[in-house]
Amino acid sequence: MVSPLTPPPMTITFMVPPRRVPCPSCSFLRHASHPTCTALRLWLPKVRMRCSIANRSGRRKQSVAGHDSRENVRMHRLRLRAVLCTTLAAVAFDGGGAHAQTITAATTQPGSLTHSLGSAVAKIATEFAGVRMVVQPQGGSSLLPIAAKISEFGFSNSFDVVFFTSGTGEYQGRGPQKNIRVVARIFPNLSPLYVRLDSPIKNLKDLKGKRIPGGFAAQKSLLLSYTMQLANAGLTYDDVTVVLTPNVVKSADDFVAGKVDSFTFGLGAGKLKEVAAAVGPLRALPMDPDPVAIARAQAILPTSYMMVVKPAPNFPEIRQEMPLVVYDFTMQTYAEVPDDVVYKVAKAMHDHTKELTATFAGLRRFNPKEMAIKYDGLEYHPGAIKFYKEIGQWPPKER
């Protein structure tokens, strides 16, 4: 069974061998190979798009389901990718006699925390939940493909989900997104700011006048994370030198290149090891535990809270016990995803914690006894609620 999608109008035929031929109008790849279909000696379909060239001067008009904005073009590409993956899966599994349902999980780019997290959850869901979960890396928030019903699952910061569902913050003007549902709390997002081990920067206040990543056109929630940490120190972006960057991975690359003096990333992410290998050991910056300073941070990010983080072998950047204002990573879906699918995925995560941890060390922070946490303004999926009632975690805990 293939999850429901609403793709734009298209004609699908199959073609062998694979070639990568971009459409001359919109640059979509019209056919491409895929690891799964390679193993099965199948190939992704050739998709003929409705495209038109506006004029000969180089400007192109992209006709995407009646819309021509950049965002709709991007969503169209995501739909196309999802259709290709699920079409392939349907052919592969039906042809082989298997009946596992194929679902997708939206994450950020490879090397990021949510990609590592999503890959681990996808592995456990595929092995123990009776579904086949495929990771779909995105250039921006995973909430967009979920709301558009392109991906069944995704991972986001709890504050970002609050803003997205309510149509506030960076999503002002979009209107409420009422079909988003929480599946589970994953773990607290420990994403301090880092500097080189020998840097003279000792705390967040020392960042005044320093070069800090900013912009984050593809990840607006990251801009709020920086703003929150600066606010904790009584600073704003006006107090630092802003170096524009599109996303979290590029900001880490800028740090390696010497373009910025500090950057943030989720503890446990593979990218941190890559950065440390390039520039030497890293050191996380502590936050101010004063209640007034904490309140400044929480005013920027709803659902955030303070916790003390201790040094651990898998967190070499934590050089000493330090306070951090953190926020939870949560797993989301949309309301129309079948209850039994959400139930089985939540149960697989709960029952196979050891396997999750073995797949991704960052999931050592995952506590199966705290999967249901109350977040003001957010609703849980009925499939998740059913499971949490069975294991005594419903109603959800207050933070």
Cα–Cα distance measured from residue 190 to residue 197, given in angstroms and rounded to the nearest whole number: 18
Q: Is 188 left (phi over 0), alpha (psi -120 to 50) or beta?
A: beta
Sequence-separated (6 or more) residues with CB below 8 Å from residue 392: none
pLDDT of amino acid 207: 98
Model pLDDT for residues 33-87, shown as the tens digit of each residue: 333 333 332 333 333 333 333 333 343 333 333 344 555 555 555 555 554 544 4
At 196-217, the pLDDT tens digits run: 999 999 999 999 999 999 999 8
**Any idea which architecture 193-328 has in CATH?**
3-Layer(aba) Sandwich (3.40)
Q: In Å, how far are 1, 80, 125, 137, 154 from 10, measured between CA atoms?
A: 21, 9, 31, 23, 26
For residue 117 the two structure tokens come to 């997290």
Stretch 143-156: mean pLDDT: 96
pLDDT of residue 220: 83
Which of 304, 342, 341 lies closest to 323 in space, CA to CA?
304
Which band of pLDDT confidence, cut at 50, 70 and 90, is reported for residue 140?
Answer: confident
pLDDT at 99: 56
What radius of gyration do the chain's Cα atoms show?
22
Q: Tens of pLDDT along 333-383?
A: 999 999 999 999 999 999 999 999 999 988 989 999 999 999 999 999 999
In which residue are the tokens 């779909």 written?
Answer: 136
Predicted local confidence at residue 77, as pLDDT: 59
Residue 24 has pLDDT above 60, yes or no: no
Question: What is the tens place of the pLDDT at every residue in 370-381?
Answer: 999 999 999 999
162 neighbors 300 (Cβ within 8 angstroms) = no
Interior angle at CA 327, CA 388 and CA 224, nearest 5: 135
pLDDT of residue 125 exceeding 80, the answer is: yes
**pTM > 0.85: yes or no:** no
Distance CA 321, CA 344 (A): 38
Domain extent listing, the chain = 1-77, 193-328
Query: What is the predicted pLDDT for the residue at 96?
Result: 36
Give me the DSSP letters along 312-326: BTTBTT--S-EEEEE
Across the chain, the runs of DSSP E, i.e. the strands, are 11-13, 46-48, 101-107, 131-137, 153-157, 180-189, 193-196, 211-215, 241-245, 263-264, 282-284, 305-309, 322-334
Cβ atoms of residues 264 and 222 within 8 Å: yes
